[in-house]
Amino acid sequence: MERLQKIIANSGYCSRRKAESLIAQGKVSVNGKQVTDLGVKVSPNDSIVVEGRALKQTEKEYILLYKPRGIITSTKDEKGRKTVVDLIQTNKRLYPVGRLDYDTSGLLLLTNDGNLTNLLIHPRHEIQKVYIAKIDQLVDPSLIKKLMQGVVIDGVKVKADRVKIKKMDKKKKTTIVELVIHDGKYHQVKKMFAAIGYTVAGLKREKFAFLDLSGLTAGEYRHLTTKEVKTLYSLIK
């Protein structure tokens, strides 16, 4: 559900301010009834008529992308570098749900459903994300425990929901760690490891809520099913 003036503006019919003025002038109806109240919220299924013409609401699109490394999570880049949006063939304006660093690969959602985006990125909703971090050192398991007890990054204490050493290669001196977090601060995983004295050499997001990367290779994407979108909405408390 979104405010009527926002839906009208999002359809490209006019600006939000103009939409407010049209509503106030009684030039808008919802499901056959004239609406002059600016607080009214409508859903994508409501039929909206503006100045006698049926409004075509922009269809929502939901993409699950396997972001490769070396691509920026943005809709455009002032240096002309490739962005995640350049990887998607669509005629809609899609926005990433949160962000992954330039050198991070993995699961990234993109959509034009701003409502869902705002809900999913809000830490209150505690959407779990699973990361795989590669550390070019042998990691001390007792330090890993600290990530669950909580470490301070940028003056705020953050905890991992789960941490597990997946593999330790004594010869190559590398460790693969799986880390589950539910908030999404800037460079959070890298900063959490930095807080216990390690540098993340490689990072991949394997899961976002119940969604994973199965069937995709880096650079590929798929549309979410209606059921998956509904399930994402249902996760919001």
Of the two residues 189 and 209, which places its CB atom closer to ligand URA in the complex?
A: 189
Q: What is the DSSP letter of 205?
A: E
CA distances from 93 to 43, 44, 108, 157, 201 (A): 20, 17, 16, 36, 33
Any contact of residue 111 with ligand URA (CB under 6 A)? no
Query: Which residues in the 182-201 window bind ligand URA by CB under 6 A?
Result: 187-190
The four Cα atoms 177, 117, 104, 69 give a dihedral, to 10 degrees, of: 140
Of the two residues 146 and 187, which places its CB atom closer to ligand URA in the complex?
A: 187
Q: Which of 37, 86, 101, 103 is catalytic?
A: 101
Of 15-23, 34-42, 98-106, 151-159: span binding ligand URA (CB under 6 A): 98-106
Site string for ligand URA, 136-175 (x = CB under 6 A): ----------------------------------------
Of the two residues 101 and 206, which places its CB atom closer to ligand URA in the complex?
A: 101
In this chain, which of 48, 50, 85, 100 binds ligand URA, going by CB under 6 A?
100
User: CA 85, CA 32: separation in Å to the nearest integer?
Assistant: 38
In this chain, which of 203, 209, 213, 232 binds ligand URA, going by CB under 6 A?
203
Q: Which of 120, 119, 93 is nearest to 107 (CA)?
A: 120
Q: Would you call 101 a catalytic residue per the annotation?
A: yes
Shortest CB 52 distance to ligand URA, Å: 49
Shortest CB 126 distance to ligand URA, Å: 16
Q: Which residues bind ligand URA (CB under 6 A)?
A: 100-101, 104, 187-190, 203
